[in-house]
């Protein structure tokens, strides 16, 4: 549509392309977009799962969990201004609206524009479909205020619920894997597509923000089974059996979506994201007797049924006892500790991914769960995490990274994520 | 089939199961196995791509490249004996023969056996199909001789070609990401299946060998395109256009498979594997003009055509000149340097995977290519790598890990990989 002039800065280019973005957005509203005719299209967008970027909520929260994750936390540059933050969010939203449709990051594309300029798009996803990509943005406590400084003129709009998480028993957090002014969660069914999204957003941020830390993860990727079975974590157990599904509107409104009445009207329809990098001591776990593994979780390993009986989706019966009168589900088992029944029905929406990052210096796999949960208030996570101090499972977990972010509602067509904060 | 007694060591257990392994092997010979009826089967093995483990050559060399890699280098324990090495290779071969069929690591399975014993299988692949898993084993120079010591009585059988790689210009090797007495390459279309294989082989090795380093990687995983397009590397270019295919018997015999006449008869039908962890300085690359990127590679970015013209699979014409009389393909471009035409037709078989391991402390993605090549002699790799010292591309690459291993031929049914070394 637009031909970038040689030498034009990325930022100027993306600003220029605002008009194109708005036109594109109009096509994207109201469902999947398969046939938007713009320059720089890559692959056959119809074939690869397309999620709308614009809408009431950001995609990537209730979206069916994709196979691969690339999560990145960013810090704003010390020199960045309020205008830099606004234009960064505009440029990111525009780029995300394109990439989630299987398009290159800008209309000039990976090989368009001039041979005498660097391509806008880095190119490694050329020819790949959208692959169900979602890109979800969040704002950390330090974006609103850092060491008493209101760098971007938004301190007054910080949600009162958005504060650094308290220290939990057993925390062993690496500051270089924790926090961040901004976060971006890219999920896709192809790791190269998720990586491409983070890389290009990082490139767009150049001079305004840079990656503080990032994490890749994978879920259960087999597409050969017809049924979408509950994935297994690296302890070999099914994980996520009792999650909040997209169809559960009441559950989402109660436990996931922030409301205007919660105190920060600009966040209504958004949520709070908690990320925890949890090392699992898998070699120790693997040496446990099966019975001890199952007692620790509170479920059978094969089918995932609660130890009180039934099948995977049977509700646990915490009152059930064995012949000796002992509870069939240990009250300190993981399910006993975190089940909604133990928390007056309170729930969170989990989107965790397994990770394996090579091995540590002792020959143990550097493996675990990159825990991601969305909730209406970080207090929900805090309550569960505090309860886990007496969870039998905690002996096999090490929390080594952590962060919390306010996740704005979705952007309306032609606008950008977080616009409500700057209105 | 066999019920393990509580308290039986893994090693004893797997030894016991040798009879079962032989039975299983008989079913596996001669092609894909979809319906072997043994205990501990997981998932529907028919649905997930099954490669035979036993055969003339190890699987995972000419096998069509799967989407995900987990590669691990192991060192034998200082206390390990020749018998430990032999039984480890037997146990590994047995476990690999099962996992590649979509079965649990032993017949007692992830939940079989006794609840009072740790399960043999770690369980995270329960319910997943074979997912095209291949497991390929290699023997490093230090397995044959370490600091003058013939630890396992095999020094006399070291192939004369198997020596540590020479130091190359620009090498910046991390010893903790280099070398290893043994290596295992696990490739699968599901990362959880590849990780499961390495984890369980590592567990089986307990007390005899342990992981020295490991690396995960991904290829172009989209299964939505009908055609198997050439994958792109993280520089955004198609990579692997001129590879040796399984159908090219003559090319394989000339350039990949070791022959008895090469000096180590036990290695006939095997090969030599070179692994290099290559950081790509992608942020620097992304700032290059498109024309400079294409000059550096010697191909167009969009289609992958040589700059002398044509399409992706057109042979490069190194004599072609432009209007000014300059060569269209720069002699120092990557294709100019490594093309078989520059090496009297010499080729290697490449199986590289992209990797992204978070980011470094400077906000740059810790990303690159995990290069894997199979060749009849390491000299083939050495020649190409030396030539690359004047390759324009080398400015954007940092070799940070390295290893070379002799890869034995495939095991015959009921035997094990490397048996020829101990005959």
A218: which 2 tokens?
A: 């994978």
CA distance B42 to A225: 12
Calculate the average pLDDT of chain A: 87
Least confident window among B39-53, B64-78, B406-420:
B39-53
Tens digits of per-residue pLDDT, B264-293? 999 999 999 999 999 999 999 999 999 999
CA distance B363 to B146: 39
pLDDT of residue A220: 63
Tens digits of per-residue pLDDT, A323-355? 999 999 999 999 999 999 999 999 999 999 999
Tens digits of per-residue pLDDT, B323-375? 999 999 999 999 999 999 999 999 999 999 999 999 888 888 999 999 999 99
**Does B129 sit within 8 Å of A359, measured CB to CB?**
no
| Fold annotation for B10-139+178-221+232-257+411-422 | Alpha-Beta Plaits (3.30.70)
**Does A233 sit within 8 Å of B301, measured CB to CB?**
no
Spatial neighbors of A59 by CB under 8 A, at least 6 apart, are A51, A52, A53, A100, A134, A135, A136, A410
Inform me whether the pLDDT recorded for B35 exceeds 80: no
Of B48, B190, B222, the CB nearest to A190: B222
Say which residue the tokens 């040796």 belong to.
Answer: B244
pLDDT of residue B28: 33
Q: Which residues of A touch B300 (CB under 8 A)?
A: 111
Residue of A nearest to B189 (CA): A222
Of A211, A223, A289, the CB nearest to B359: A211
Inform me whether the pLDDT recorded for B8 exceeds 50: no
Q: How far is A388 from chain B, CA to nearest CA, in Å?
A: 23
Predicted confidence band at B137 (pLDDT cuts at 50, 70, 90)?
very high
CA distance A292 to A258: 39
3-state secondary structure A163-198: CCCCCCCCCCCCHHHCCCCEEEEEEECCHHHHHHHH
The DSSP secondary structure of B279-310, one letter per residue, reads EE-HHHHHTS-HHHHHHHHTB-TTT--BTTSS
Of B47, B126, B359, the CB nearest to A214: B359
pTM of the model: 0.90
**Does A115 sit within 8 Å of B291, measured CB to CB?**
yes
Predicted confidence band at A221 (pLDDT cuts at 50, 70, 90)?
low
Q: How far is A344 from chain B, CA to nearest CA, in Å?
A: 31
Q: How far is B39 from chain A, CA to nearest CA, in Å?
A: 14
Identity of the highest mean pLDDT range in A48-52, A266-270, A359-363: A266-270
Tell me which DSSP letter residue B275 carries.
Answer: E
Residue of A nearest to B283 (CA): A203
Q: Which residues of B touch A198 (CB under 8 A)?
A: 365
| B216: region left, alpha or beta (phi > 0 left; psi from -120 to 50 alpha) | beta
Least confident window among A345-349, A372-376, B44-48:
B44-48
Say which residue the tokens 């031909």 belong to.
Answer: A3
Predicted confidence band at A48 (pLDDT cuts at 50, 70, 90)?
low
**Does B286 sit within 8 Å of A365, measured CB to CB?**
no
pLDDT of residue B60: 97
Predicted confidence band at A8 (pLDDT cuts at 50, 70, 90)?
very low
**Does A118 sit within 8 Å of B287, measured CB to CB?**
yes
Say which residue the tokens 């009986």 belong to.
Answer: A309
Of B191, B199, B365, the CB nearest to A199: B365
- H or E stretch covering A201: helix A191-204
Predicted confidence band at A4 (pLDDT cuts at 50, 70, 90)?
very low
SS3 content of chain B, % helix, strand, coil (to 5): 30, 20, 50
Tens digits of per-residue pLDDT, A160-195? 999 999 999 989 999 999 999 999 999 999 999 999
Q: How far is A6 from chain B, CA to nearest CA, in Å?
A: 10
Q: Which residues of A touch B301 (CB under 8 A)?
A: 110-111, 119, 123, 126
Of A114, A123, A289, the CB nearest to B118: A289
Closest among A187, A377, A383, A366 to A277, alpha carbons compared: A366
B255: which 2 tokens?
A: 């350039």
CA distance A208 to B84: 57
Predicted confidence band at B30 (pLDDT cuts at 50, 70, 90)?
very low
| Percentage with pLDDT > 90 across chain B | 78
Greatest alpha-carbon pair distance for chain A in Å reads 80
Domain A13-164+181-221+232-262+414-422 matching CATH 3.30.70.100: the answer reads: yes
CA distance A85 to A71: 20
Identity of the highest mean pLDDT range in B9-13, B198-202, B244-248: B198-202
Inform me whether the pLDDT recorded for B321 exceeds 60: yes
Say which residue the tokens 């567990």 belong to.
Answer: B203
A380: which 2 tokens?
A: 């929900």
Q: Which residues of B touch A119 (CB under 8 A)?
A: 236, 290, 293, 301
Tens digits of per-residue pLDDT, B168-203? 998 999 999 999 999 999 999 999 999 999 999 999
pLDDT of residue A228: 62
Mean pLDDT of all residues in B411-421: 96
**Does B127 sit within 8 Å of A216, measured CB to CB?**
no
pLDDT of residue B301: 95
pLDDT of residue B23: 34
Say which residue the tokens 């002992």 belong to.
Answer: A326
pLDDT of residue B243: 83
Residue spans of the domains in chain B: they are 10-139+178-221+232-257+411-422
Spatial neighbors of A180 by CB under 8 A, at least 6 apart, are A73, A74, A75, A140, A142, A212, A213, A403, A405
Of A117, A220, A357, the CB nearest to B192: A220
pLDDT of residue A47: 44
A221 and A66 in contact (C-beta within 8 Å)?
Answer: no
């Amino acid at each position: 549509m637009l031909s970038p002039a040689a030498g034009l800065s990325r930022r100027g280019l993306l600003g220029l392309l605002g008009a194109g973005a708005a036109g594109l957005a109009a096509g994207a509203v109201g469902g999947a977009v398969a046939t938007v005719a713009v320059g720089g299209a890559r692959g056959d967008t119809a074939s690869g799962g397309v999620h709308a970027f614009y809408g009431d909520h950001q995609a990537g929260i209730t979206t069916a969990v994709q196979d691969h994750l690339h999560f990145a936390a960013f810090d704003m540059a010390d020199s960045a201004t309020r205008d830099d933050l606004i234009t960064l969010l505009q440029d990111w939203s525009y780029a995300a609206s394109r990439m989630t449709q299987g398009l290159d990051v800008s209309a000039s594309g990976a090989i368009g524009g001039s041979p005498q300029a660097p391509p806008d798009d880095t190119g490694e996803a050329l020819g790949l479909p959208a692959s169900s990509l979602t890109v979800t943005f969040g704002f950390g406590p330090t974006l609103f205020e850092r060491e008493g400084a209101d760098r971007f003129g938004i301190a007054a709009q910080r949600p009162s619920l958005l504060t650094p998480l308290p220290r939990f028993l057993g925390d062993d957090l690496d500051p270089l894997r924790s926090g961040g002014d901004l976060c971006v969660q890219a999920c896709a069914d192809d790791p190269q597509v998720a990586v491409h999204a983070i890389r290009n957003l990082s490139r767009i941020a150049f001079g305004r923000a840079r990656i503080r830390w990032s994490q890749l993860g994978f879920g259960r990727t087999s597409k050969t089974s017809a049924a979408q079975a509950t994935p297994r974590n690296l302890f070999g157990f099914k994980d996520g059996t009792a999650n909040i599904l997209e169809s559960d509107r009441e559950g989402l409104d109660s436990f996931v979506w922030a409301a205007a009445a919660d105190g920060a009207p600009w966040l209504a329809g958004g949520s709070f994201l908690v990320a925890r990098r949890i090392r699992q001591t898998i070699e120790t776990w693997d040496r446990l007797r099966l019975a001890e593994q199952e007692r620790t979780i509170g479920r059978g390993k094969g089918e995932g049924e609660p130890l009180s009986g039934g099948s995977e989706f049977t509700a646990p019966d915490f009152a059930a006892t064995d012949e000796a009168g002992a509870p069939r589900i240990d009250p300190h088992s993981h399910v006993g500790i975190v089940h909604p029944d133990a928390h007056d029905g309170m729930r969170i929406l989990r989107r965790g991914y397994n990770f394996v990052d090579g091995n540590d210096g002792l020959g143990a796999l550097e493996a675990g769960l990159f825990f991601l949960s969305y909730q209406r208030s970080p207090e929900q996570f805090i309550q569960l995490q505090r309860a886990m101090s007496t969870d039998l499972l905690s002996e096999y977990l090490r929390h080594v990274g952590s962060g919390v972010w306010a996740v704005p509602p979705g952007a309306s067509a032609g606008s950008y994520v977080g616009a409500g904060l700057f209105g």
